[in-house]
Amino acid sequence: MKKETLSNITLIAALIFLTTLCRLLTNQMAIYNFTAIGAGALFAGVVLKDKKYAYIVPLAALILSDVFFQLFTDIPGFYGGEMLFVYGGFVLITFMGTRIRKPKAGNIFLASIASGLVFYLMSNLGTFLFRDMYPHTFSGLLACYWAAVPFYKNELFGSFFLNTIMGNVFYTALLFGAYAVLKPVFVKQHAAERQLA
């Protein structure tokens, strides 16, 4: 498998860390699920050829944003065992990205929708397992998932579909679009600088 160039890794990492900034801003504006973190995990899984970086970069972005929330805001960055499922959801989203062999627009669009569903299922499974809000039965799990849907009604667009799913679609399109525009310029400039050195 072809190795990454340092300039390509830097560009991809910069785009993913911009997703972290976006998460900080949207959470400060109380728009909790219209974020770019899921899109960043999917993006890393698709574009980073060295798969260890595909997992490390978005998880580092998520950890840094959680540390920032914990230290500098009223939003808890670390809030218990269910966080393992939040992080696990992003690992699964990255894994989905690594399985996309032909990153065409249709494949990426479907994966961005699926990534929103993966996050919803994983994060609420963590809530079900680590909080005593529901009986630990199959019907309790279904009740947990059902109760989570109205949670989104007070958010920016007022629904799970528009907040999480369309947020992922929007930010995925933004990341892949920015990468397509910047990669030729960024990588070419880096190659020219190496030739002059």
Axis crossing angle, helix 37-47 with helix 105-130, rounded to the nearest 10? 130
pTM: predicted TM-score of the whole model, two decimal places: 0.83
155 and 32 Cβ atoms separated by less than 8 Å: yes
pLDDT tens series, the chain, 197 aa:
345 677 777 888 888 888 888 888 877 777 777 778 889 999 999 998 888 889 998 898 889 889 988 998 888 888 888 999 999 999 999 999 999 988 899 999 999 999 988 988 998 899 999 999 999 999 999 999 888 776 555 555 555 556 778 888 899 999 999 899 988 877 665 555 555 44
Structure tokens belonging to residue 168:
């992922």
Identify the pLDDT of residue 29: 77
User: What span, in angstroms and rounded, lies between the C-alpha atoms of 58 and 60?
Assistant: 5
Nearest alpha carbon to residue 163 among 18, 16, 27, 58:
27
- CA 172 to chain centroid: 9
